[in-house]
Chain A
Amino acid sequence: MTSTATNAVQRGRGGIRPLNIKPRRTMNWTLWAGLGLSGLLVTVSIAAQFWTPYTPTKPGVGDPLMAPSAAHLFGTDKVGSDIFSKVMAAGLTDIGITLIGVALAFVIGTLIGSLTGFFGGAVDAIVMRGTEIIQSFPALLLGMLLVSAVGGGLINVVVVVAILGFPGYLRLARAEILSKKSMEYADAAVLMGNGRLSVLFKHLLPNSLKPLVSFSAINASWVAIIVSSLGFIGIGIEPGSAEWGSMIAAGRDQISNWWVTFFPGVAILLLAMAFYLLGDAFADREVQ
């Protein structure tokens, strides 16, 4: 469809849109829903650092395994901690690891990808093989292997998440730069007295960022799930700490007390969804 005359131009010219008196409302709801949801999650997690209904890690604030009630909105776990407070407090860990991991992967992947795409040659070929190898493993399996090799802990999990994610950015950045390299404005930049690196970083890379940004949002939703999966398996963050995945793990043997696992699960889902919606909205804007 993108290849008929008019549609092809629509993407080529960027800002072209129908001429109406009233600006047409596009499918903006994904953007607003994504922004709203992530805003809510972030606000709640930050607020939880200052105030929660109960001290999140303190056992025995209620009886063990109480069903949700007015006093304990999400119920209590088997040591009697308040699940609502714990879910709130865990937000910062999950969101923080996800964001930092994604940012690391973004920067490293984009940097290497644009350099190898721009300069090509043997290094490029080797790097591409390398990313293929990383990507040929199932991500979670590789994550488990890496974490058990380097050990758990906050920083290690962040690094492992970045390692899992960066090949995606690398390949995307490389493809973008490769297609931009043959554009005439790259030649023009050379004529205007730019060195090779400044052509790359001042002209080609800024024009390649949009797809990378929308990819990073989609990627973040996937990273959020990996982070909590590692917690669930019990090899990521210290088991039993305030982290959604570990909370689910702790409730694994209490199927009949559904609330212990249900609420952290919903939180993970919401976080993944928030990132996903944002990514979708960015990708949409780009097509327009």
Chain B
Amino acid sequence: MAFLVNSNKHAEWVIEKCLFLSAISAIFFIVLIIVFIFEKGLPMIIDYGLLNFILGTNWFPLDGQFGIFPMILGTLYVTAGAMVLGVPLGLACAIFLAETAPEKMKNSMEPVIESLAGIPSIVYGFFGIVVIVPFMRDAFGAGFSILTCSIILAIMVLPTIISISQDAISSVPKEYKEASIALGATHWQTIKKIILPNAMPGIATGVLLGVGRAIGETMAVLMVSGNVVKIPSSIFDPVRPLTANIALEMNYAYGIHREALFATGVILLVVTFALIMVVDYFQRGN
């Protein structure tokens, strides 16, 4: 019996260590990713010069020119466009779900949002190329463009913005709302003046996570952005976002060209970390 007890203690010890190892697996993977991406990309950035790299306007890998500024602009424009379209729609849905939707409507929106979040990005890209691109071509004369990209991305970031904003809005204390209504404010006035300001940190978090998703998205933008490396002059111009550049060239790049793609990965990683830090800041302010 005593022996049994001891062996159980041993087993419990081993189990605890195994659980510990699984718990630190996330840290392990992050460190591995940083090490391996930086190891390949950082020397290139240092050799080429960070400013030359991110502000250079010429991307001619065969001539050894690796300026990613047009692609940075590409990413920024499509992301900004996605937010302009996606935030108002998403926020309105969130307000609707948290405040005014009848129970039935709420229950039917839930699977809609889940499905939107679950649809693979390649399917969004596919839908873009077979439906939205031809439609935009007929309507504006430009199929593959910043605008098309932004429309697709706006749909893709909707679930993130809706669900996080909805949580933020629902967690505004009931008392605030009651107090405002008791003073004779309408529901809409209460939403505008009391609920939204109080939910702001949460909404900002949702928007920032949406920005992160848009910046990091690859397949959908790859299929509808047109992928032309040039500084765009209108929303109907094609662009090539950073992620698309990696996806397009990785298969045949070698040598310093390949390193430049990893260096692009370094930039994306740094942007991701910065965004997460800002999100953290907002959540702490909450």
* Pair from one complex: no
